[in-house]
């Protein structure tokens, strides 16, 4: 059954589909991986890759540290950052001993205390986002795991690609806000963007069936993103507006940060992922489909022109896509949970009901229109989620606010970074005005 969210539509910016990263970019990394670019000096042939984990105290950041611990012969943690939660950060630093630790919330009094503290390790301490940008731009980092939440992660994602690093991207908001800029910078510097988001990692893996000689880019019919449906999937429609913060945060299959968990309840997360897929894989919105798959075992699928569908399956565990983004194109044993084939398991899927999840439609609209739409939708959503989490609005208000702000914004088709950030600020102000008008 075709839902309005999945219905094919016209795309004004249709581009030929091409799997991403391109063969050229993959090869350029493989050459570096083999040590061909660093045969002399301090950079030995098989030296471990130097990794920065941005947002180490978060859900993805903590999983990334576990993965790195399990792969310590191949990767060296050189830099870690957090914004707040300094106590947890300090514990992580003692355990993982990065060369450099950065707290980005530089004006917080507890950051100053932390900066002044000393310990028996040789770890350097720094504060502020400028220190973060400097460190990931320099030679002490080969791979950046971008696990900061929200548009706050954009500047560091951009710095990583501008400096030719491998960007292991969990921070989908970077692509939603500035997909065009991020991709053109990556192309220029021959940086790679490898998705950490489980759906995009699944598609990235499935697309590898579409190899050179098999007419790459021509044989993909569509991609199918799976969605768990979130904690309110089976609620009666009329009860959704009564959902509390606790209800929205009780995700059935994934344990994640608060913002993305609320996004899953509204399905704004899938809307952002449609936009993310559009940029990462160069796919028009009409070739992206979303289905509800309550078990979160099939992480996404690619349907080819002959009708074959290639899916990636594994238990819901972000350590797997994080590890793959680090080791790609290789695979290594790691800490992620595995399928137990001795257990019976039923896999099911069904179409999305647009009435239950009105936010999803916005993702398709933004993927089609491009320009400033991603920055506006993302900022409106971040601001609205904060209002919901502080008890000011209902969960069902989030999609309504986002639609209204998106409709009223001053669209520009090819914005630069400053224009995108200005639209971000405008959209947040609009949401606050909307909220004040309710009080």
Cβ nearer to ligand NAD, comparing 86 with 206? 86
Q: Is 424 in the site for Mg ion (CB under 5 A)?
A: no
Q: How far is the CB of 156 from ligand NAD (least distance, A)?
A: 8
Is residue 153 within 8 A of residue 146, CB to CB? The reply is yes
Nearest CA among 231, 300, 298, 225 for reference residue 260:
231
* Rg of the chain on CA atoms, in Å: 21
Q: In which element (H, E) is residue 173 found?
A: helix 172-189
C-beta of 50 vs 172, nearer to ligand NAD: 172
d(CA 164, CA 182): 12
Nearer to ligand NAD by Cβ, of 57 and 423: the residue is 57
197 contributes a contact to Mg ion by CB under 5 A = yes
Please state the closest distance from residue 59 (CB atom) to ligand NAD, in A: 4
Stretch touching Mg ion by CB under 5 A, among 14-22, 65-73, 189-197, 330-338:
189-197
| Residue 243 contact among Mg ion, ligand NAD, none, beta carbon within 5 to 8 Å by kind | none
Contacting positions for ligand NAD (CB under 6 A):
55-61, 82-85, 104, 147-149, 152, 170-173, 197, 254, 256-257, 259-260, 318
At residue 196, the 3 state secondary structure works out as coil
Q: What is the DSSP string of 229-279?
A: --TTTTS-GGGGGG--HHHHH--SS----HHHHHHHHHTHHHHHHHHHHHH
State the number of binding residues for Mg ion (CB under 5 A).
Answer: 2
Please report whether residue 192 would count as binding Mg ion according to CB under 5 A.
no
CB-nearer residue toward ligand NAD: 210 or 325: 325
Q: For ligand NAD, give the closer residue by CB, 148 or 284.
A: 148
In the chain the first and final C-alpha atoms are separated, in Å, by 41
Cα dihedral angle (23, 25, 29, 30), rounded to 10 degrees? 10
Q: Which does 59 bind (CB under 5 to 8 A by kind): Mg ion, ligand NAD, none?
A: ligand NAD
**Cβ neighbours of residue 412 under 8 Å, at least 6 residues apart?**
371, 372, 419, 423
Q: Select from 384, 377, 430 the least CA-distant residue to 173.
A: 377
As measured in angstroms, the least distance from the Cβ of 197 to ligand NAD is: 5
Whose Cβ is closer to Mg ion: residue 173's or residue 397's?
A: 173
Q: Per-residue x/- mask for Mg ion, residues 384 to 413, rule CB under 5 A?
A: ------------------------------
Q: Residue numbers of the site for Mg ion (CB under 5 A)?
A: 197, 199
């Amino acid at each position: 059954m075709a839902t309005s969210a999945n219905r094919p539509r016209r795309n004004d910016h249709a581009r030929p589909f091409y799997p991403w990263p391109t063969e050229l970019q993959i090869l350029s990394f493989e050459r570096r991986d083999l040590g061909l670019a660093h045969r002399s000096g301090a950079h030995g042939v098989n030296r471990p890759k130097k990794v920065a984990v941005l947002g180490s105290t978060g859900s993805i950041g903590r999983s990334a540290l576990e993965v790195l611990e399990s792969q310590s012969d191949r990767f060296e943690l050189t830099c870690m950052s957090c914004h707040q939660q300094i106590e947890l950060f300090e514990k992580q630093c003692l355990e993982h001993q990065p060369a450099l630790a950065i707290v980005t919330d530089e004006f917080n009094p507890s950051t100053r205390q932390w900066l002044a503290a000393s310990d028996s390790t040789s770890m350097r301490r720094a504060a502020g986002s400028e220190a973060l940008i400097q460190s990931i731009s320099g030679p002490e980092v080969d791979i950046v795991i971008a696990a900061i939440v929200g548009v706050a992660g954009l500047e560091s994602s951009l710095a990583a690609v501008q400096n030719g690093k491998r960007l292991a991207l969990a921070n989908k908001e970077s692509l939603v806000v500035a997909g065009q800029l991020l991709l053109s910078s990556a192309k220029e510097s021959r940086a790679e963007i490898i998705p950490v988001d489980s759906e995009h990692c699944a598609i990235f893996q499935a697309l590898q069936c579409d190899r050179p000689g098999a007419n790459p880019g021509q044989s993909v019919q569509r991609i199918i993103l799976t969605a768990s449906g979130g904690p309110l999937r089976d609620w009666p429609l009329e009860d959704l507006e009564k959902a509390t913060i606790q209800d929205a945060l009780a995700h059935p299959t994934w344990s994640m940060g608060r913002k993305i968990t609320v996004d899953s309840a509204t399905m704004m997360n899938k809307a952002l992922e449609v936009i993310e897929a559009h940029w990462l894989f160069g796919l028009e919105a009409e070739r992206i489909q979303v289905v509800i798959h309550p078990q979160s075992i099939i992480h996404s699928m690619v349907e080819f022109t002959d009708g074959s569908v290639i899916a990636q399956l594994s238990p819901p565990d972000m350590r797997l896509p994080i590890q793959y983004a680090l080791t790609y194109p290789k695979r290594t044993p790691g800490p992620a949970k595995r399928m137990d084939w001795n257990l019976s398991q039923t896999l099911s899927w069904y179409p999305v009901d647009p009435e239950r999840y009105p936010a999803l439609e916005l993702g398709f609209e933004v993927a089609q229109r491009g320009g400033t739409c991603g920055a506006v939708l993302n900022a409106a959503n971040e601001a609205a989620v904060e209002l919901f989490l502080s008890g000011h609005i209902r969960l069902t208000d989030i999609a309504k606010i986002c639609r209204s702000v998106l409709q009223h914004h001053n669209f520009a088709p090819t914005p630069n970074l400053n224009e995108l950030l200005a639209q971000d600020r405008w959209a947040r102000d609009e949401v606050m005005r909307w909220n004040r008008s309710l009080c």
